[in-house]
Homo-oligomer: A and B are copies of this chain.
Amino acid sequence: MGAASSIREHLDAVAVVDHHVHGAFVEPVSRARFEFALNEASTVDLPAWDSVWDTQLGFAIRARCAPLLDLEPHADVDAYWARREELGAAEVARRLTAASGTDAWLVDVGFTEGVCTPEELAAMAGGSSHEIVRLEQVAEVAVAAGGSYAEAFRAELARRLAEPQAVGCKTIVAYRTGFVLDWSAVADAEADALADRWRDAGGLRVDDPRLLVFGIRCAIDAGVPLQFHVGFGDRDERLDHTNPMHLIDLLREHPDAPIALLHCYPFEREAGYLAQGFAGVHMDVGLAINYVGARSRSLIARSLELAPFRKILYSSDAYGPPELHLLGSRLWRDGTASVLEGFVADGDWSERDARRVATLIAADNARRLYRL
């Protein structure tokens, strides 16, 4: 067996830890809702002349999910949808999530509308389920509690992290303000005063930069892994304000804090630089893998530059359509196999190292980071 096939077989077989994912649709959804869920960046319907299927993600679904629904690869869109309806949402979800080969699901439970729970995901797909606590949700509970916000935040965070399924935290400060912030410590009194103002204003969505920083620093103090949404997301964010270099003051203060930079597109190189420079910084290119589809090989290759191999993680960041849970894994497996086969063919890596690094990224790094 040649090096190439050996690497590809390993990548086909290795179990992954999906260290950042959401629930899947398991109930029937309309085609309009399904299609809407495929457009990450936009928050409105497409014009009549456009189609969400004419994207790398749309092509990837037809190429890689169709066969799991007993269709030919590249089945046309109507045939794909008809077969989906015929099989039913639950069966489609079961087939696609199970085929992802996922051993553990670390589910962001910050936003769960219309999708299955972590336990349902694991029961359907196999593997264990774990939870990632979203800091902005903790903030919204804390502000509603009344009294000292700072104390309420820490108490709620401790309570959530004490639950056996909790393995880490996540922040979406990228969406709320971006990273161009004063990252310095926020005194309890300052947090309390800002929270009072926020509560008076309705207390709906935390978007005060200092309160966001307060929460992030509480999570770092708690010593748990902290995930940052970085780069690619919807148009509510300014992509350029989510360049992870803007985190550097915080990282310099906490170089060993266990941090995971999520997605990172198109800042993979900056993320790799930080992963090399700071002992605690990890990174993945999840979410973006699905959305760039056929171009995910190149994205995966870029993630294998400066970042030490023990700092790179796998995630799908799937939310809703179970196609996304499958594709995250399938595209990562195929793209990683292609990239590593190339390294081996060029004499840069040994075949044995290629398999070993694949396993590190697939699962071992996440198991160590999250103490699974």
Contact = CB atoms under 8 A, between A and B. Distances in A.
Interface of A: 39-42, 44, 46-47, 49-52, 54-56, 59-60, 62-63, 73-74, 232, 234-235, 238-240, 243, 245-246, 248, 251-252, 255-256, 265-266, 269-270, 273-274, 276-279, 291-295, 297-298, 301-302, 304-306, 308-311, 334, 338, 342-343, 346-350, 352-353, 357, 360, 368
A31 to B, nearest CB: 18
Contact of A306 (B248, B292, B304, B360): B292
A265 B269 contact: yes
Nearest to A240: B245
Nearest to A270: B239
A344 to B, nearest CB: 9
A248 B252 contact: no
22 contacts: A41-B273, A41-B306, A42-B277, A49-B310, A50-B279, A50-B311, A54-B357, A56-B304, A56-B305, A60-B348, A73-B347, A74-B350, A232-B306, A239-B273, A240-B245, A266-B270, A276-B291, A291-B305, A293-B348, A294-B343, A294-B349, A297-B346
Contacts of A353: 59, 74
B277 A309 contact: no
A317 to B, nearest CB: 15
Nearest to A308: B55
A307 to B, nearest CB: 8
B298 A301 contact: yes
B348 A278 contact: no
Contact of A295 (B47, B270, B301, B310): B301
Contacts of A41: 273, 276-277, 306
A295 B291 contact: no
A270 B74 CA distance: 28
Count the copies.
Answer: 3
Nearest to A268: B266
Given A40-B276, A51-B310, A245 B238 contact: yes
A305 B295 contact: yes
Contact of A277 (B234, B273, B279): B234
A313 to B, nearest CB: 14
B266 A309 contact: no
Nearest to A60: B348
Q: Which 3 A-B residue pairings sit nearest by Cβ, starting from the closest? A: A235-B277, A294-B348, A74-B350
A275 to B, nearest CB: 9
Nearest to A249: B238
B245 A243 contact: no
Given A238-B248, A301-B298, A279 B44 contact: yes
Contacts of A293: 348
